[in-house]
Amino acid sequence: MTTAIHWDLSDLHDSIAIDSVTPQLDDISSLAGSFADQYKGNVHQLDSKALHSALLQYDDIRSKLYQLSQYAHLNYAVDIASAEILKLVSLIDEFLSKISNQLLFFFLEIGQVEKSVLDEWCNDEKNAPYIYSLTEAVKKNKYRLSEKEEQLINLKDLSGVDALKKMYGEHTSRYEFKITIDGQEKTLNGTECRALRYHENPEVRREAMALFFKRYKDDRHLMAQFYNSVIKDFNVERVHRGYESPISTMNLRNDLPDAVVQMLHDITTSSNNLVQRYYHLKRTILKMDRITLADIYAPMEENVPLIDWNDAKSLVLDSFKAFDDEFYAHANDMFETNRIDVFPSKVKRGGAFCSSSRPEIRPYVMMNYLGKQRDVATLAHELGHAIHAYFSSGQPLMNYHAILPVCETASVFCEMLVIDELKKRAKTDQEKMILLAAKLEDIFATSHRQNMFSRFEQAVHGKITTERLSDDDLCELYKEELTRMFGDAVEIPEEYHWEWATIPHMLDVPFYVYSYNFGNLLVLGLYQSYLEEGASFIPKLKRILSSGSAVSPVELLAREGIDILSKSFWLKSIAFIESILDELDHLAMT
């Protein structure tokens, strides 16, 4: 397998040296200062033409800043041990906070304008791409504080809650795990250790996960402090802003009605029986006396061969090519222009992600590719995000990044394309069973597992608002949600009560995780529509992806005949999951 494939960040910048960014920071600072001098206190007096000019300037300043920030953070993602890179990240983060404070007045003042002014702005055809941002600014103005308060929050967060989040990431990224496999002692990072969940030997799987969670348990006081401090800070600010509940902050950010989000949680929770049914079936297929949480990703056959990177690349591109030429061209461009960093290293952060900064610059993908079938699905997933960014690049920066619930549309859809391609290539029922099992496990990981996280978050936020939770309290709350999801189908080892401490999203962006569930179930519904409609569905999907965040998710999907306010839409997705389980059940019994 290829051992070194790194991304080329030269489109963003050419050096991690502090001196190399100073001229650009000076230029951005000058532009921001001129912008504030010209518009501060005068926004409500702007006619539609002057507002349009201001919006273009605003996006231009942020584009330059986001590009540098992306460069710094992508370098940091692949080398968290470099002191020079960390200095660059710190410098740009502080500078970003400073410029954000300088520009803060603009949308605060937009949010305060009279309806007649808003109507005049929105009736100008030049401002059509910005209508949603302008109307949302007015709608959400009630949750904003004064300019001085907003500036103070930005400044205090830099050395306060944001510093705690960064400390959590830096601290846990340095964890190492020593384990003996086949008589050979290995030292693994977190990504490599968690990958052993897919090992064919149950003893290796269980030992690896016990080691992984024990490392977090050893730092139990730190983990509890991170959670209490970050979540308490979140809720102090949330209450001060006037949000009704902790999760409503994300619902409003996502522009989703509370009722839809609650319906999503309820429907997913009520279908936990499918998770439990699957794991009872898997235990039978594998002829195991017992199955624990360390075994839920156990391979369906021994000695599953690794998939070479070049084979994974070809498989994914072939899948996209069979679906649509544009999907293929955008994904292929990611490979051709070296925009993917592929393999893990001792100084690289775990996981995988796709990063976009501005419409004029193509995205980047970070992987920790280990050759597993799920790594191929992850590649398709992250390339799906990149394809989404290619389609939305016709939007201005303000609309470029899709709203969270729609962010997963292309990524999960692309995963489905790859799974279908693998099914077509399967030569035996056993191969099909392996694929169906992998797909179900991916669905449960993306929907029901994220739903479990979100339920845990709601419970934790509800309590930390009024009391400090001990590490034992946090473990007990998490255990309750594990039991609710898996029932008696899977044994829950004690160390898994610490899994909450390993999920960075719950600290970095509270309630982000339900967007995975929303996006996954949304795409299952969309994919059924594709299977029913064929090629005529593809233009609908492209229109959704091309819209970025120019309209609300409800309206965006309604334009294509998709009613996410209807319970029946979401139940259709659950029925699709059940149909996959039925197919696996049938194959297992024959």
In this predicted model, what pLDDT tens digit does every residue of 114-129 receive, in sequence order?
A: 999 999 999 999 999 9
For 415, residues 6+ apart whose C-beta sits below 8 A from its C-beta are: 377, 380, 381, 384, 442
Q: What is the pLDDT of residues 312-368, one digit of tens each?
A: 999 999 999 999 999 999 999 999 999 999 999 888 988 899 999 999 999 999 999
And the tokens for 325? 């030429």
**pLDDT at res. 302:** 58
Cα separation, 118 vs 135, in Å, equals: 8
Task: Please report how the helices 373-392 and 538-546 are oriented relative to each other, as an axis angle in degrees rounded to 10.
Answer: 70
Cα separation, 436 vs 364, in Å, equals: 30
Cα separation, 271 vs 275, in Å, equals: 8
CB under 8 A, 24+ apart: contacts of 108-113: 108/141, 108/144, 108/147, 108/150, 109/40, 109/41, 109/43, 109/44, 110/43, 110/134, 110/137, 110/138, 111/137, 111/138, 111/140, 111/141, 111/144, 112/44, 112/138, 112/141, 113/43, 113/44, 113/138
Task: Please report how the helices 246-254 and 514-533 are oriented relative to each other, as an axis angle in degrees rounded to 10.
Answer: 40
pTM over 0.85: no
Confidence category of residue 147, pLDDT binned at 50, 70, 90: confident
Give which of 168, 216, 186, 192 is closest to 350, Cα–Cα: 192
Mean pLDDT of 281-299: 94
Spell out the alpha helix ranges (H) of 124-271. Answer: 131-139, 147-159, 161-173, 190-195, 202-218, 220-241, 246-254, 258-270
Q: 485 with 275: CB under 8 angstroms?
A: yes
Identify the burial level of 50 via C-beta atoms within 10 angstroms of its C-beta, where 0-12 means exposed, 13-18 middle and 19 or more buried.
middle
Confidence category of residue 1, pLDDT binned at 50, 70, 90: very low
In percent, how much of the chain has pLDDT > 90? 81
**pLDDT at res. 304:** 63
And the tokens for 102? 């300088």
Mean pLDDT for all residues in the chain: 93
And the tokens for 309? 């990177």
275: number of Cβ within 10 Å: 26
- Does 545 have pLDDT greater than 60? yes
- Does 187 have pLDDT greater than 50? yes
For residue 534, what is the enclosing H or E element?
Answer: none
